[in-house]
Amino acid sequence: KQEVTQIPAALSVPEGENLVLNCSFTDSAIYNLQWFRQDPGKGLTSLLLIQSSQREQTSGRLNASLDKSSGRSTLYIAASQPGDSATYLCALSGAGSYQLTFGKGTKLSVIP
Amino acid sequence: ETGVTQTPRHLVMGMTNKKSLKCEQHLGHNAMYWYKQSAKKPLELMFVYNFKEQTENNSVPSRFSPECPNSSHLFLHLHTLQPEDSALYLCASSQDLGRADEQYFGPGTRLTVT
CB B110 within 8 A of CB A42: no
Residue A89: list chain B partners with CB under 8 A.
43
pLDDT band at residue B1 using 50, 70 and 90 as cut-offs: very low
Q: According to the model, what pLDDT value does residue A81 have? A: 97
CA angle A70, A56, B45 (to 5 degrees): 70
Which candidate in A39, A54, A59, A98 is best for mutational testing of the B interface (most B CBs within 10 A)?
Answer: A98
pLDDT in tens, B35-90: 999 987 899 999 999 888 888 778 899 999 999 999 999 999 999 999 999 999 99
Residue-level pLDDT at B100: 67
Point out the residue among B6, B92, B99 whose CB comes nearest to the CB of A93.
B99
Inform me whether the pLDDT recorded for B111 exceeds 70.
yes
Beta-strand runs (E) in chain B: 4-7, 10-13, 18-25, 31-37, 44-50, 53-57, 64-70, 73-79, 87-94, 104-105, 109-113
| Interface contact flag, B105 A44, Cβ < 8 Å | yes
For residues A71 and A60, what is the distance between their CA atoms, to the nearest angstrom? 25
Q: What is the pLDDT of residue A83?
A: 96
Residues of B with Cβ-Cβ distance to A36 under 8 angstroms: 105
Residue A57: half-sphere exposure toward Cβ, Cα within 13 Å = 16
The average pLDDT across B2-10 equals 91
DSSP 8-state secondary structure symbol assigned to residue B23: E
Q: pLDDT higher for A51 or B1?
A: A51
Give chain A positions within 8 Å (CB) of B5.
none
Residue A24 to chain B, least CA–CA distance (Å): 14
CA distance A75 to A23: 8
| CB-based contact B33:B47 (threshold 8 Å) | yes
A6 → chain B, closest CA residue:
B42
Give the model confidence (pLDDT) of A17-49 as tens digits: 999 999 999 988 888 899 999 998 888 999 999
Q: Does the beta-carbon distance from A34 to B102 stay under 8 Å?
A: yes
Enumerate residues 6+ apart whose C-beta is below 8 A from B65: B76, B77, B78, B79
- At A53-109, the pLDDT tens digits run 899 999 999 999 999 999 999 999 999 999 999 999 999 988 667 788 999 999 999
Residues 73-102 of A with CB under 8 A from B: 89, 91, 93, 95, 97-102
* pLDDT score at A96: 66
At residue B2 the predicted structure's pLDDT band, cuts being 50, 70 and 90, is: low
- B38 in Cβ contact with B83 (< 8 Å): no
Amino acid at A105: G
Q: What is the pLDDT of residue A74?
A: 97
